[in-house]
Amino acid sequence: MILIYSLLYSVANLIGFSACLGIAYVLGKAVLHGDKQLLTSILGFMLLSIAFLLESIQFFLASYAFLSNISPFLEPFAPKYRPFWIGSLISYLLGYLLILTGYIIAYKEASSGLVSFLIIPQAIIGLLPLIISFLLAKKFNAPRIVILAFLMLALSHFVFTVYLMNPYGIELLVLALTRFLAAFLLMGIFWRL
Amino acid sequence: MRRKYRSHVGVLLDILRAIDEEGGANISRIMLKANLPYDRLKFYLEKLVKEGYIVTEQDDEGRIIYKLTEKGVKVLGELIFLKKFFESMGLPL
């Protein structure tokens, strides 16, 4: 069964690879018509397609090794595949960052410079409390209230990112509610004493 | 209030569509339909003529009319496809 799952993952990544390449190609047509700012998005989707392709190859090779009885199925994480993993991780990171930047550039006409500048840091900052809450849950067996507090903080940072992209919508209310809930949960630590 | 953003491709599409819908249009008509100021429209029209997407003709009253070329019709189809693609990607055009 694990072999089928691995092949499925490989095929899924191949489809992702084709989709991202297709998107980059169509965006390229718009660049040819003069929309140079789309180059960032194109580069982002190309990097994402490379990441998908690397993971697809990785799991395909692992399936082959398993089928040919070359090695048991822990292959995707064997040291010899480290360059694949590092390559795909870097491609994912840069790819998503460039795609995000592309969207921000597209919307920045309607926003101030500072607003555009704040969007990416807010999104990245949001990842940190998410990692903290994950660690607290998995490694430290922390009380649920602390985990939830950090989760809410993460959520509020992500909502802040969305709010910066659309400062006139209901996002501010959602932001206020999530931050209020996060602060309330943090205060709850004292109430438990 | 959020300002409506229009990309380069979006502007080209609006101009070509305005000309196509009228089967040839003068500059005032295009200004109105594509919602562009004179100077900016003039810049785009010159560029489109230079690239062979539109041509100028004179009507019976001596006014300059812009018409789509075969190449222009083809590029209009491409831009309509791009608009749909951009919308499905959540990108403003």
CB contact under 8 A, A35 and B8: yes
pLDDT for the residue numbered A53 = 93
Q: How many domains does chain B have?
A: 1
**If you measure CA to CA, which chain A residue comes closest to B83?**
A30
Among chain B, residues having any CB pair with chain A shorter than 8 Å are 1-3, 5, 7-9, 12, 75, 78-79, 82, 85-86, 89-92
Q: Report the chain B residue with the minimal C-alpha distance to residue A27.
A: B82
A169 to chain B, any CB pair closer than 8 A? The answer is no
pTM for this model (two decimals): 0.68
Please judge whether B91 and A106 are an interchain contact, meaning their C-beta atoms are less than 8 angstroms apart.
yes
Where in the sequence is the domain holding B18, given as residue range(s)?
Answer: 8-85
- What is the Cα Rg of chain B in Å? 14
B93 within domain boundaries: no
- Give dist(CA A179, CA A115) in Å, integer: 19
- What is the predicted pLDDT for the residue at B1? 41
In a domain, B64, yes or no: yes
In this structure, is residue B3 part of a structural domain?
no
Whether residue B63 lies inside any domain: the answer is: yes
Q: Does B77 map to a domain?
A: yes
Mean pLDDT, chain B, integer: 87
- Assign B30 a pLDDT band (cuts: 50, 70, 90): very high
Contacts of residue A101, defined as CB under 8 A and 6 or more positions apart, other chains included, come to: A40, A44, A120
Q: List, for residues B56-81, the tens digit of each pLDDT value.
A: 988 888 889 999 999 999 999 999 99
Query: In this structure, is residue B37 part of a structural domain?
Result: yes
Interface check A191 vs B, CB under 8 A: no
Q: Render B11-79 in DSSP notation, one character per residue.
A: HHHHHHHHHHHHTSB-HHHHHHHHT--HHHHHHHHHHHHHTTSEEEEE-TTS-EEEEE-HHHHHHHHHH
| Partners of residue A101 in chain B, C-beta under 8 Å | none
Give the model's pLDDT for residue A193. 67
The domain spanning residue B75 has which CATH number?
Answer: 1.10.10.10
Q: Does residue B70 sit within a domain?
A: yes
Could you say which residues of chain A have pLDDT below 70?
69-76, 107-117, 192-193
